[in-house]
């Protein structure tokens, strides 16, 4: 069970309180009705799925209820950082 | 018109566990309110409610019969054992907020005694060690397979709140966990 | 390739088993191949085998970053069945079952395909409706699948708890008698041996680090830790690592990789005669020929390449096992492990050409790829050899995520009331 | 009544009480404090089991958890039978009953042993090469035969009556292992005031001190020192000492799983005590003090009962006071076995000879052995053994070749050196490094916050161990952020035993005979060689091909041997061949311990509504819907389900029915932008819905498929009461929060779940208004004041209500929402009024029939996750003028708008009495051969007593264009003819809503 730092609760808390919510920084197109089938596919289906640093969303669903973002290494499952929803992608020293 | 007012039947009527090291008992019925307030309107809502909303997540404020639990950055659970109309108090507040009566949604369970912390630790993965989780700490979390809201009301006493239909599970879980004499 | 037989064993028995030849060659990579398959799991090796045996393409290399059969092939719970709902799914999985039935003979390698029956339990009325829908569709598609009452289910699997007062009582079951299990390592080894004998080079400890494309877009070959290997065509069969490989060719795929765990118990005398699956309580169990109870767990919720998962996932698996089979509560977990499963949005695989000429992809098998191994390799070999999909895998194209023509078995079993 | 091999005055059990036990039905006496193994050995019993494949007789190899051979079944009673218990771990209690396994008819005469004669054929992987002809024979002949030979013990055949406990725990420092190193580390960490947990798998701390006699720490005997330290630790408030507790899994971020065996050593199960307790410990720092495990020597016939590890022989002697034989041989490649020889000799046991493969070993302990007159043959090997059910002799020859000599022995102790126990370190994902000098893998790169100390870290010297461990304990406490306390004094080694490591213990030339590497799985050096010869060059391939290290002991004694043999044959250095993965659990863990409390009633929450008890009292049959129990139907005496549902259906349409709709999800959407938010989340328009009115809403996922539906009431300009499906309640709220928080955070809206605030009593039927009228206060419920699809707030039975005028039956109907604790009382009041009008209570089945008569869909039954609003004939609910809502783009993708999609239609069977089966498939041409082209399937099908014929809903390709056509439903026994119809079967004009 991972230990996840909720940026709203400012505490490391057990994974079972959280729900993973997919890749982060995907923005729903404001002109969604006008995009092409390919653009819709890219928005809704295509994913980076990186081996290494992933930017992903979590929700502290059984806690404060907030969605937030995390940078995690998918090889070690270590979190590099977590940050509030709406904040920009943080610069991470070695990679990203 | 109705002849009489309908009888209130709480979910855990008659259930109680008393052991030398811990007791698990249903809390008395209470008024409850879920408050959602953006930061800029906290003062206005606090004033109308007559209780200052604590603004640090996981902390609570208790005075008299009323506890106000800060569950999230803009979310509070107000519990008042006095049965007052909490939503009514906020009717006139113009500032944007949401106040929703959940008096019957939740059921409270009091776990107290030497083994209270250990009993809850059978199913709650948070660290409940007193210096880490001092009196007044509150949070939404997990107990076994149910969501709960946990409030530490004393060094050896917790209030566990859960949704009504989960209360049988939560109570039974605590009852089962409290059997372990190690606790 | 020297043929395996009872006679061969007897012969070797009298010379200390010193006459066995290597099951597969371990050659140095050649400079160029007609086809390079990336990934020496069951699907990749089967693809190479069928390229050689059915399409006469023998100048083939299978490159593998670790050891052959070391990924999900050697980590799964070996369930084989084909009672899927949609025509496309039933088509490919039943194609596989038909190949399973003769695979030991075809490969001259005992893969221990054991059609002992796969029984899927229904615990509520919604389950019953969904399973009946499957059974009727399967019958009209010529795929065996039958409905059992709880009592019949108990007769087929005596340890099953059919107490009506159970938390989720068994209301019935769908049984596919041709379903069963096979020996996972033997599948990889059998295909490797047969492919190698037909000239396929299996190159282990050879990690692909890049895919080289011509200016016009066509693939030219793969960069590897053992040098550049030229290839006219490349088939990516890299399971959980597909996204990483496809990224090298500049193709994004609709995949996410999740940890999936499994475990075995200590071996005990035969007590469990079939395979039982319960999607509602999340229990998947059979007993191996060695006596271990083989139990599949769920995926973790987050994407990962770590091949490990959380203990709470195993907790949920084992409480379901203890609930369905209370007599197993005192049994012991001997070994647990994790794999990386690649999951598509509709939980169905992709066996397809790609926007890059000469590049083909076979991925997205999620938690259920083992059962399809022969069928998958067979039609993927066709797709590569002919540069067009076999009718059986035509629906499993990459472009379905653009058109919306998904093959969503999970959605077809949606729960809501 | 002293057991024959118990040596008076030896061991630490002293004058312990006698414990009687049986093994295979024969009675023996042991002492409290014995293990089953030591008690059997005290009685001279060595033969305890049969091996897996060849059924060879086997005895005890070890005195600990690494035991591969001595597995027995323990039977407390008919339901409490546990297979595969290591006799070397099982503590003796009075009344213990053990049975041997994998033998028939008896341990000493086992028919299966015929396999041993056939063993030349059963080489590694033989089954891959045969049993293929004829094809059917695998299923019917070979596999049943192989399976019947499989397994060791017998699985229990009854439900487990014991219970298991669980605990999450947190600490600053978790110390794994209670030997010298672990105790020293725990002590120095504890004295800072840090929260410390120290665990040890044995009944008492002490580790290898159990086997030793010569160690002195701080002036005390080593064993006594260990017990003193444990007592001191246990007395400290900040320390928890857990014995009989195995750390078995090391997970991400220092989550370590422990299992504590609570009652397995007690004579009778105490009702309140859990059998085992699972601890999930989150530690800021972990100190690994897991010791090392001795390896056996690999030589032909090295598996006979009586051949044991030297450390085991010494443990039995020095701790349990038991001699493993009267004439003991020693075979070793390192010094440690000499201590056993010396101790045995001093205890009066004859030591036949020490065979040492080394040419000219030198050390004090060797000198001591020599001075005691023990024969030492250096540069020699043991080339075989004699005996059948017990060793009778060892066949000795010079290493370089030469004549053999058989030396009579009744026990043979061997040692091939020690393997550091790096299991937990490896599970922590740390990388091992091979130490060439000492020929062992040691912790290299750490990934988690942990440290290794003592033997598992390759530290052999006692003083060095104490210093390293004390320092690591302190550092761990400091790293965990504990500032207090002074550094404790490092315990001082006053006397110690030490030996050189090294030598892997597989002399050349053992590949021709049965020289066992993995005892339990019967893997020999020859098998490993064959695997390599067949091209298995990765150690994982070798392992899988031979099954080396895959038995219940997980290769604790065999893995390194296997690796060494493979490496030598491949001509590669050990590290290049690689190590197999160390997987959890360290030792096997009971399923029940992992399931913990989640059994029976606690397997999953059972959710019940406020009116559940009423339904129960009134004979309702329930169905499971998700975690909820819902009343399915209310049979009266003598009624079956069919009769009850027919009566309920007709009663509702004739007078009225009362239905518990509490399980529907409910969400309160509050804020000035509430309508704007609803516009984005639902397909329907909401801005113009007036307060007090309701609308049926459809929610899509972004892909354009129906996700959920429900009636939504607007309570005021800024407040909506949204209902969802029962199963959808949680995910719909999550979906809404997701969009609100991440895509539309500018909207001033908050969402609150009120599913459980309100109990919901649906009153449906022509008399519904009459029934509720006497109970309602402050709401005008006339048709004019409160038309269909409206909502009012007021009181009922004196308590607050949100009263909805709505219908899921097509009849005039109300849904009374009251605070849940009033649910039952209000229900009873409604029931009492209903009785006056002849109303009935009805369940979900009748609800389903009535709504199907009206063509109302159930999301999840008539739709699955692949149905668009248009497919479900719900285009009318999609706001045509809307610029955006979730799903607006997805539903326009090519495949979602193509002609020929499956559409929801009605079906009428030509024979009106036939009710179709839900899930049945539909074809246009019933005479085509299999595989048939299916054009759709039945989603709902019922007998409609109100219509007088069966009804069905179906999803059919191009269905709306087929209305009036005949289609066919082929069933196994017949083909049913159906007519495609519209979806409404009853009151097509909808007049009854106000009727």
Residue D504: the pLDDT is: 65
Asked if residue A94 has pLDDT above 70, the reply is no
Per the CB < 8 A criterion, the answer to whether B67 and B79 are in contact is: yes
Cα-based distances in Å from D60 to B11, C407, D36: 57, 57, 11
Topology of domain D660-850, CATH = Gyrase A; domain 2 (3.30.1360)
CB pair distance less than 8 Å for A37 and D890: no
Average pLDDT over residues A60-85: 96
- Give phi and psi for B175, each to the nearest 5: -60, -45
Query: Which residue among A40, A67, A78 sits closest to D893, beta carbon to beta carbon?
Result: A40
Q: Which chains touch B (3 or more CB pairs under 8 A)?
A: A, D
Is there a shared CATH topology between the D164-292+421-495 domain and the D296-416 domain?
Answer: yes
Average pLDDT, chain B: 95
Sign of CA dihedral B126, B132, B134, B138: negative
Percentages helix, strand, coil for chain C, rounded to the nearest 5?
Answer: 35, 25, 40
Give Cα separations from D13 to A70, D8, D33, D151 (angstroms).
57, 11, 6, 36
CA distances from B28 to B79, B88, B109, C375 (A): 11, 21, 9, 63
Closest-CA distance, B64 to chain D, in angstroms, reads: 25
Peptide bond into D585 cis (omega under 30): yes
Q: How far apart are CA B58 and CA B138, in angstroms?
A: 5
Return the pLDDT at D749: 98
Spell out the CATH class of D1-154: alpha beta
Give residue C417's pLDDT: 40
Counted residue by residue, chain C has a size of: 417
Task: Give the pLDDT score at D148.
Answer: 76
pLDDT tops 50 at residue C217:
yes
Domains observed in chain C: 6-78+184-254+346-412 (3.50.50.60), 118-177+257-343 (3.30.9.10)
Mutate to test the interface with C, among A45, A50, A61, A78 (most CBs of C within 10 A): A45
What is the sign, positive or negative, of the torsion defined by CA atoms of C72, C78, C82, C83? negative
Q: Which residue, D440, D574, D561, is CA-closest to D501?
A: D440
Q: What is the DSSP string of C25-57?
A: --PPPPSEEEEEEE--SHHHHHHHHHHHHHH--
What are the residues facing D269 on neighbouring strands? none
Residue appearing with tokens 């059969």:
C69
**CATH fold of D508-570:** Arc Repressor Mutant, subunit A (1.10.10)
D852-994 — its CATH code? 3.30.1360.120
Residue of C nearest to A45 (CA): C254
Q: How many Cβ atoms from other residues are within 10 Å of residue B176's Cβ?
A: 23
* Rounded mean pLDDT, C224-248: 97
As a CATH number, domain D296-416 is 3.50.50.60
Q: Is residue C416's pLDDT more than 70?
A: no
Reading the block at residue D620, the tokens are: 């309702």
Above 60 in pLDDT, residue B144?
A: yes
The tokens of A78 are what? Answer: 């270590």
What's the rounded mean pLDDT across residues C308-334? 95
Measured between beta carbons, which residues in chain A are less than 8 angstroms from residue B166? none
- Annotate chain B with DSSP letters as a single string: --SSPPPP--TTTT--EE-SS-EEEEPPP-EEEEEE--GGGHHHHHHHHTSPPP-STT-EEEETTEEEEEEETTEEEEEETT---HHHHTTT--SS-EEEE-TTTEEEEEEESTTHHHHHHTT--S---TTTS-TT-EEEEEETTEEEEEEEEETTEEEEEEEGGGHHHHHHHHHHHTT-TT-
Grouping H, G, I as helix, E, B as strand and the rest as coil, residue D676 is helix
Give the whole-number percent of chain C exceeding pLDDT 90.
Answer: 90
Nearest-angstrom CA–CA distance, C306 and C309: 8
Q: Which site among D605, D889, D896 would you substitute to test the A interface, given the most A Cβ atoms closer than 10 Å to its Cβ?
A: D889
Residues in Cβ contact with C33 at an 8 Å cutoff, skipping those fewer than 6 apart: C59, C60, C61, C201, C229, C230, C231, C232
Whether residue C134 lies within 8 A of chain D, CB to CB, comes out as: yes
Residue-level pLDDT at D425: 97
3-class SS of residue D951: strand
Q: Does D894 sit within 8 Å of A37, measured CB to CB?
A: yes
Mean pLDDT in residue range B124-134: 97
* Chain C residues with CB-CB distance to A72 below 8 A: 302
- Nearest one of C237, C240, C184 to C360, comparing CA atoms: C237
SS3 C405: coil
**Which residues lie across from D408 on neighbouring strands?**
D393
Q: Taking 90 as the threshold, does the pLDDT of residue B1 lie above it?
A: no
> C401 and A41 in contact by Cβ < 8 A?
yes
The string of DSSP letters for D229-252 reads: HHHHHHTSTTEEEE-SEEEEEEEG
**Strand, helix or coil for residue D867:** coil
What would the two tokens of residue D76 be?
């407390």
Integer Cα distance of C181 and D494 in angstroms:
60
Structural domain boundaries of chain D? 1-154, 164-292+421-495, 296-416, 508-570, 660-850, 852-994
Q: List the structure tokens of D716.
A: 């005021």
Residues of D in contact with C167 (CB under 8 A): 600-601, 603-604, 606
A52/D507: higher pLDDT: A52
The enclosing H or E element of D320 equals none
Q: Check residue B2 and give its pLDDT.
A: 44
Please compute the mean of the pLDDT values over residues C326-341 and round it to a whole number.
96
pLDDT in the model for residue D615: 98
In the predicted structure, residue C415 carries a pLDDT above the cut 60: no
**D633 contacts D734 by C-beta, under 8 angstroms:** no
Nearest to A74 among C301, C304, C403 (CB): C304
DSSP bridge pairs for C355: none
Cβ contact, residue pair C403, A37, below 8 Å: yes
What is the pLDDT at residue C414? Answer: 52
What value does the CA radius of gyration of chain C take, rounded to a whole number of Å?
Answer: 21
Q: What is the pLDDT of residues C284-296, one digit of tens each?
A: 999 999 999 999 9
Q: What CA–CA distance (Å, rounded) separates C192 from C46?
A: 8
How many Å apart are CA C364 and CA C347, to the nearest integer? 7
Residues of B with Cβ-Cβ distance to D818 under 8 angstroms: 6
Interface touch A16/B125, C-beta < 8 Å:
yes
Q: Find the residue in A nearest to D281 (Cα).
A: A1
Q: Which residues of B touch D757 (CB under 8 A)?
A: 100-105
From the centroid of its chain, how far is CA A44?
A: 15
- DSSP 8-state secondary structure symbol assigned to residue A25: S
D853, containing H or E segment: helix D844-853
Domains of chain A: 3-84 (3.30.2270.10)
Q: Which residues of chain D have pLDDT under 70?
A: 1, 487, 498-505, 507-512
The three-class DSSP label of residue A59 is strand
Strand order in the sheet with D96-99: D26-31, D18-23, D96-99, D71-75, D81-86
| CB of D305 closer than 8 Å to CB of D58 | yes
Q: What is the CATH number of domain D164-292+421-495?
A: 3.50.50.60
Q: Is A76 in the D-facing interface, judged by CB distances under 8 Å?
A: yes
Which pLDDT belongs to residue D902? 97
What's the farthest any 2 CA atoms get from each other in chain A?
A: 42
Is the ipTM here above 0.90? yes
C78-122 residue pLDDT tens: 999 999 999 999 999 999 999 999 999 999 999 999 999 999 999
Q: What is the structure's pLDDT at C413? A: 65
Distance from CA of C190 to the nearest CA of D (A): 9
Q: How far is C162 from chain D (nearest CA, A)?
A: 13
Whether the CB-CB separation of C245 and C211 falls below 8 Å is answered with yes
Sketch out chain B's domains with CATH numbers: 14-29+105-183 (3.30.1360.120), 30-102 (3.30.70.1520)
Q: Do the beta carbons of residue A60 and residue A13 sit within 8 Å?
A: yes
Residue D207: both structure tokens together: 């580790």
Which helix (DSSP H) or strand (DSSP E) does residue D467 occupy?
Answer: helix D462-479
A:36-55 residues touching chain D, CB 8 A cutoff: 37, 40, 44
pTM for this model (two decimals)? 0.96
Following DSSP, what letter does each residue of D510-568 receive, concatenated? Answer: -TTS-BEEETTTTEEHHHHHHHHHTT--SHHHHHHHHTTT-STTTTTTTHHHHHHHHHH
Confidence of residue A96 (pLDDT cuts 50, 70, 90): very low
Tokens 């005021």 correspond to what residue? Answer: D716
Q: Does C123 touch chain D (CB under 8 A)?
A: yes
Q: How many CA atoms lie within 13 A of C212 on its CB side?
A: 12
Count how many Cα atoms sit within 13 Å of the Cα of residue D471 in the half-sphere of its side chain: 9
What is the reported pLDDT for D500?
A: 55
Alpha helices (H) along D275-363: 310-318, 336-346
Contacts of B132 in chain D (CB under 8 A): 170
């Amino acid at each position: 069970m991972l230990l996840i730092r909720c940026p709203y609760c400012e505490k490391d808390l057990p994974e079972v309180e959280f729900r993973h919510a997919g890749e982060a920084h995907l923005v729903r197109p404001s002109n969604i009705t006008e995009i092409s089938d390919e653009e819709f596919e890219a928005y809704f289906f295509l994913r980076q799925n990186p081996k290494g640093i992933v930017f992903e969303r979590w929700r502290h669903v059984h806690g404060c209820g907030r969605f937030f973002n995390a940078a995690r290494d998918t090889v070690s499952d270590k979190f590099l950082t977590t940050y509030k929803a709406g904040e920009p992608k943080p610069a991470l020293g070695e990679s990203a | 018109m109705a002849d009489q007012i309908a009888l209130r039947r709480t979910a855990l009527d008659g259930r109680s566990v008393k052991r030398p090291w811990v007791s698990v008992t249903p809390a008395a019925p209470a008024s409850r309110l879920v408050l959602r307030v953006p930061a800029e309107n906290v003062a206005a809502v606090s004033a109308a409610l007559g209780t200052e909303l604590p603004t640090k997540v996981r902390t609570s404020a208790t005075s008299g019969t009323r506890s106000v639990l800060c569950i999230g950055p803009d979310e509070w659970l107000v519990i008042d054992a006095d049965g007052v109309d909490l939503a009514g108090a906020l009717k006139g507040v113009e500032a944007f907020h949401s106040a929703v009566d959940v008096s019957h949604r939740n059921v409270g369970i009091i776990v107290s005694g030497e083994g209270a912390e250990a009993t809850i630790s059978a199913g709650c993965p948070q660290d409940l060690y007193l210096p880490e989780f001092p009196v007044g700490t509150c949070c939404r979390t997990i107990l076994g397979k149910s969501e709960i809201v946990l409030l530490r009301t004393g060094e050896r006493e917790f209030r566990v709140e859960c949704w009504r239909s989960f209360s049988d599970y939560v109570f039974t879980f605590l009852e089962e966990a409290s059997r372990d004499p190690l606790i | 390739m020297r043929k395996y037989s009872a006679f061969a064993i007897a012969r070797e028995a009298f010379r200390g088993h010193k006459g066995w030849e290597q099951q597969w060659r371990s050659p140095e990579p050649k400079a160029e191949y007609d086809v390079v398959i990336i990934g020496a799991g069951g699907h990749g090796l089967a693809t190479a085998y069928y390229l050689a045996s059915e399409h006469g393409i023998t100048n083939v290399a299978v490159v593998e970053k670790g050891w052959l059969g070391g990924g999900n092939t050697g980590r799964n719970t070996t369930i084989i069945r084909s009672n899927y709902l949609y025509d496309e799914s039933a088509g490919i999985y039943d194609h596989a079952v038909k190949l399973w039935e003769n695979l030991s003979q075809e490969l001259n390698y005992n893969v221990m395909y054991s059609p002992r029956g796969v029984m899927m339990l229904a615990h509520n009325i919604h389950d019953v409706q969904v399973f009946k829908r499957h059974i009727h569709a399967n019958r009209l598609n010529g795929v065996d699948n039958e409905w059992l009452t709880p009592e019949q289910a108990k007769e087929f699997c005596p340890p099953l708890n059919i107490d009506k007062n159970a938390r989720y009582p068994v209301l019935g079951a769908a049984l596919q008698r041709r379903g069963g299990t096979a020996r996972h390592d033997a599948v990889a080894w059998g295909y490797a041996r047969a492919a190698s004998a037909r000239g396929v080079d299996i190159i282990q400890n050879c990690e692909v680090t890049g895919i080289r494309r011509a200016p016009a877009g066509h693939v030219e070959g793969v960069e590897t830790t053992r040098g550049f290997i030229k290839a006219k065509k490349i088939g990516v069969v890299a399971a959980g690592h597909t996204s990483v490989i496809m990224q090298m060719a500049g193709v994004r795929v609709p995949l996410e990789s999740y940890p999936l765990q499994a475990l075995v118990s200590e071996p005990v005398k035969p007590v469990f005669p079939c395979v039982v699956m319960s999607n509602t309580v999340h229990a998947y169990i059979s007993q191996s020929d060695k006596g271990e109870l083989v139990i599949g767990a769920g995926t973790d919720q987050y994407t990962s390449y770590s091949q490990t998962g959380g203990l709470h996932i195993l907790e949920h698996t084992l409480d379901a096992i203890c609930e369905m089979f209370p007599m197993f509560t005192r049994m012991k977990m001997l070994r647990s492990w994790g794999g990386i499963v690649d999951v598509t949005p509709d939980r169905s695989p992709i066996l397809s050409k790609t926007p890059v000429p000469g590049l083909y992809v076979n991925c997205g098998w999620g938690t259920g790829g083992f059962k399809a191994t022969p069928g998958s390799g067979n039609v993927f070999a066709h797709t590569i050899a002919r540069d067009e999909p076999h009718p059986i895998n035509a629906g499993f194209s990459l472009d379905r995520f653009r058109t919306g023509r998904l093959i969503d078995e999970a959605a077809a079993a949606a729960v809501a009331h | 009544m002293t057991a024959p091999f118990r040596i008076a005055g030896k061991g630490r059990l002293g004058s312990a009480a006698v414990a009687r036990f049986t093994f295979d039905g024969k009675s023996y006496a042991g002492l409290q404090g014995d293990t089953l193994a030591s008690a059997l050995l005290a009685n001279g019993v060595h033969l305890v089991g049969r091996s897996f494949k060849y059924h060879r007789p086997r005895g005890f190899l070890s005195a600990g958890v690494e035991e591969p051979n001595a597995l027995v079944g323990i039977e407390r009673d008919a339901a409490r039978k546990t297979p595969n218990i290591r006799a070397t771990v099982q503590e003796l209690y009075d009344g213990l009953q053990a049975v041997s396994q994998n033998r028939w008819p008896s341990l000493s005469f086992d028919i299966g042993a015929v396999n041993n004669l056939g063993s030349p054929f059963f080489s590694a992987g033989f089954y891959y090469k045969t049993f293929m002809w004829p094809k059917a024979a695998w299923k019917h002949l070979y596999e049943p035969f192989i399976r019947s030979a499989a397994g060791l013990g017998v699985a229990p055949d009854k439900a487990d009556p014991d219970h298991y406990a669980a605990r999450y725990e947190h600490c600053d420092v978790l110390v794994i292992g209670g030997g010298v190193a672990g105790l020293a580390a725990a002590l120095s960490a504890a004295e800072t005031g840090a929260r410390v947990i120290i665990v040890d798998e044995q009944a008492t701390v002490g580790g290898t001190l159990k086997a030793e006699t010569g160690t002195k720490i701080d002036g005390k005997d080593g064993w006594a020192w260990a017990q003193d330290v444990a007592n001191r630790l246990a007395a400290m408030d900040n320390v928890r000492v857990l014995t009989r507790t195995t750390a078995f899994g090391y997970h991400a971020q220092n989550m370590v799983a422990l299992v504590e065996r609570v009652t397995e050593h007690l004579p009778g199960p105490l009702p309140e005590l859990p059998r085992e307790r699972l601890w999930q410990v989150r530690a800021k720092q972990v100190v690994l003090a897991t010791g090392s495990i001795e390896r056996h020597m690999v030589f032909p016939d090295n598996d006979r009962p009586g051949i044991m590890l030297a450390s085991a022989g010494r443990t039995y002697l020095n701790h349990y006071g038991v001699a493993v034989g009267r004439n003991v041989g020693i075979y070793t490649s390192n010094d440690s076995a000499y201590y056993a020889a010396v101790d045995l000799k001093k205890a009066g046991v004859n030591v036949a000879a020490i065979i040492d493969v080394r040419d000219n070993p030198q050390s004090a302990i060797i000198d001591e052995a020599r001075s005691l007159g023990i024969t030492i043959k250096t540069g020699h090997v043991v080339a075989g053994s004699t005996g059948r059910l017990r060793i009778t002799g060892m066949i000795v020859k010079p290493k370089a070749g030469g004549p053999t000599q058989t030396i009579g022995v009744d026990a043979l102790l061997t040692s091939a050196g020690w393997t550091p126990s790096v299991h937990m370190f490896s599970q922590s994902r740390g990388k091992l490094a091979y130490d060439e000098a000492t020929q062992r893998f040691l912790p290299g790169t750490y990934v988690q916050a942990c440290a290794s100390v003592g033997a598992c870290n390759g530290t052999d010297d006692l003083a060095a161990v104490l210093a390293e461990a004390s320092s690591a304990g302190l550092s761990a406490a400091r790293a965990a952020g504990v500032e207090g306390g002074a550094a404790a004094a490092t315990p001082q080694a006053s006397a110690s035993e030490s030996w050189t490591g090294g030598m892997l213990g597989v002399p050349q030339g053992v590949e021709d005979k049965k020289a066992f590497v993995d005892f339990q799985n019967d893997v020999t050096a020859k098998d490993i060689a064959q695997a390599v010869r067949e091209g298995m060059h990765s150690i994982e391939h070798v392992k899988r091909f031979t099954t080396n290290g895959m038995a219940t002991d997980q290769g604790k004694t065999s893995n390194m041997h296997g690796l060494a043999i493979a490496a030598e044959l491949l001509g590669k250095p050990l590290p290049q061949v690689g190590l197999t993965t160390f997987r959890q659990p360290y030792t096997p863990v009971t399923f029940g311990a992992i399931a913990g409390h989640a059994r029976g009633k606690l397997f999953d929450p059972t959710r019940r509504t406020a009116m559940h008890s009423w339904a129960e009292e009134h004979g309702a049959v329930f169905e499971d819907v998700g975690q909820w129990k819902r009343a399915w139907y209310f049979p009266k005496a003598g009624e079956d389900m069919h009769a009850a549902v027919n009566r309920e259906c007709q009663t509702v349409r004739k007078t009225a029915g009362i239905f518990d709709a509490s399980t529907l999800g409910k969400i309160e959407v509050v804020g000035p932008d509430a309508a704007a938010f609803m516009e984005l989340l639902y397909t329907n328009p909401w801005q113009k819905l007036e307060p007090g009115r309701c609308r049926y809403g459809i929610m899509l996922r972004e892909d354009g498929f129906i996700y959920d539906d429900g009636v939504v009431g607007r309570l005021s300009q800024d407040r909506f009461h949204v209902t969802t499906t029962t199963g959808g309640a949680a995910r719909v709220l999550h979906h809404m929060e997701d969009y609100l928080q991440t895509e539309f955070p500018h909207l001033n809206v908050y969402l609150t779940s009120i599913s459980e605030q309100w109990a919901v009593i649906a009153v449906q039927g022509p008399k519904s208004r009459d029934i509720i009228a006497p109970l309602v206060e402050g709401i005008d419920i006339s048709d004019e004041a409160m038309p269909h699809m409206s909502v009012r707030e007021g009181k009922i039975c004196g308590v607050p209500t949100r009263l909805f005028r709505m219908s899921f039956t097509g009849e005039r109907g109300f849904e009374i929402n009251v605070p849940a604790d009033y649910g039952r009382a209000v229900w009873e009041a409604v029931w009492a009024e209903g009785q006056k009008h002849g109303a009935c209570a009805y369940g979900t089945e009748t609800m389903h029939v009535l709504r199907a008569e009206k063509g109302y869909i159930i999301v999840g039954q008539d739709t699955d996750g692949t149905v668009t609003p248009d497919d479900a004939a719900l285009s009318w609910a999609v706001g045509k003028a809307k610029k955006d809502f979730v799903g607006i783009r997805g539903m326009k993708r090519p495949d979602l708008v193509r002609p020929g999609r499956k559409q929801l239609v009605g079906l009428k069977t030509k024979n009106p009495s036939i009710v179709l089966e839900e899930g049945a498939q539909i074809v246009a041409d019933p005479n085509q051969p299999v595989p048939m082209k299916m054009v759709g399937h039945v989603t709902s099908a019922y007998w409609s007593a109100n219509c007088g014929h069966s009804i069905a809903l179906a999803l059919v390709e191009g269905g709306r264009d087929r209305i009036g056509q005949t289609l066919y439903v082929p069933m196994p026994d017949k083909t049913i003819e159906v007519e495609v119809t519209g979806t409404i079967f009853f009151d097509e004009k909808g007049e009854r809503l106000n009727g």
